[in-house]
Amino acid sequence: GESVGLHLPTLSVQEGDNSIINCAYSNSASDYFIWYKQESGKGPQFIIDIRSNMDKRQGQRVTVLLNKTVKHLSLQIAATQPGDSAVYFCAENRGEGGSYIPTFGRGTSLIVHP
């Protein structure tokens, strides 16, 4: 889910479990979505993207699901590993004047216990 104020929602899982991180986006005109991973002290790192003409896209151990009806995005991580511990952000992008403007969610902190 998305955070309010200073505290990020946290998802704690055991190593090997599957993780699901959710994101609600706000603009029905958004047509391109990205998930990022941010480890402590580092910049965000691209994980996977999806366009609005798709409802599912798979990568290596990650799957993104898009439900445009309810403006919801989820990131599924299979067989979660300790190295997956990080903050995960979704970003919605809308076209504007020939470019895309990203709006980021607050993020979810994923903690993977060995």
Partner 1 sequence: DSGVTQTPKHLITATGQRVTLRCSPRSGDLSVYWYQQSLDQGLQFLIQYYNGEERAKGNILERFSAQQFPDLHSELNLSSLELGDSALYFCASTLAGVEETQYFGPGTRLLVL
Binders of partner 1 among residues 3 to 22 (CB under 8 A) are 3, 5-6
Strand boundaries in the chain, DSSP class E: 10-14, 19-24, 32-38, 45-51, 56-58, 62-67, 72-77, 86-96, 99-104, 108-113
**Contact map string, positions 39 to 78, toward partner 1, x by CB under 8 A:** --xxxxxx--x-----------------------------
Residues that bind partner 1 (CB under 8 A): 3, 5-6, 32, 34, 41-46, 49, 89, 93, 96-107
